[in-house]
């Protein structure tokens, strides 16, 4: 779907056409939820952030510019909501609570991964710093262009390319590492 279809959907949404919202929801809901799970590594948090993302679309539809592309706009909102929530949590929690929360164990998404290589990829991806993880998810998983992903992350195209390159290198290094937590105590059969 192109920008012209986005414009038509936005116009329909502005005129309170419920079917337009349903189309946008069907097109992006699963992708946004997956993105938020992979960012937050917490299904409940991701669900809350997803609901807030959809509320923002409905409440801000009259303020959208005519040239708005829905995908990057929605992912920007979701990312910003996640970052705001992280900042609020840091202010609300003590250092001990943050450490214990980080050590709670693998996410439900990681536990559900049946395929070993998929599991290794998810574990390595989750271990990356947020600035690299989000870029890999936006470009590699969501298929956004450099320009779109740079707009979502609020950085220049060059900065995004640099993050993408570093993120890919870090991911490859971690995929090749034998120190991934779920592999440490596994018996190796020749």
Compute mean pLDDT per 10 residues along the chain, 190 residues long, and list them: 78 92 96 94 94 95 90 95 84 50 49 57 87 92 91 94 93 74 42
Give the closest residue to 152 by CA, choosing from 139, 166, 165.
139
Collect all residues with Cβ–Cβ distance below 8 Å to 42 and sequence separation of at least 6. Answer: 107
pLDDT at 126: 87
Give the closest residue to 83 by CA, choosing from 109, 111, 125, 52.
52
- Say which DSSP state 103 is in: T
Distance CA 186, CA 170 (A): 23
Exposure string over 145-176, b if 16+ CB within 10 A, otherwise e: ebebbbbbbebeeeebbebbeebeebbeebee
pLDDT at 106: 54
- Compute the C-alpha angle 126/131/137, nearest 5°: 60
Is the pTM above the cut of 0.75?
no
């Amino acid at each position: 779907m192109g920008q012209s279809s986005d414009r038509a959907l936005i116009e329909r949404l502005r005129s309170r056409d419920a079917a337009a919202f349903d189309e946008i929801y069907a097109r992006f809901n699963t992708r946004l939820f997956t993105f938020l799970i992979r960012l937050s590594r917490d299904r409940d948090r991701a669900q809350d952030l997803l609901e807030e993302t959809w509320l923002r679309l409905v409440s801000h539809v009259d303020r959208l510019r005519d040239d708005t592309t829905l995908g990057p706009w929605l992912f920007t909102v979701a990312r910003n909501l996640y970052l705001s929530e992280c900042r609020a949590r840091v202010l609300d929690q003590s250092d001990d609570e943050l450490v214990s929360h980080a050590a709670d164990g693998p996410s439900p998404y990681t536990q559900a991964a049946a395929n070993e290589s998929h599991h290794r990829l998810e574990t390595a991806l989750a271990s990356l710093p947020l600035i690299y993880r989000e870029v890999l998810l936006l470009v590699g998983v969501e298929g956004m262009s450099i320009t779109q992903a740079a707009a979502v992350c609020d950085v220049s195209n060059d900065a995004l390319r640099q993050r993408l390159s570093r993120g890919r290198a870090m991911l490859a290094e971690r995929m090749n590492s034998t120190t991934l937590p779920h592999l440490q105590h596994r018996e190796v059969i020749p």
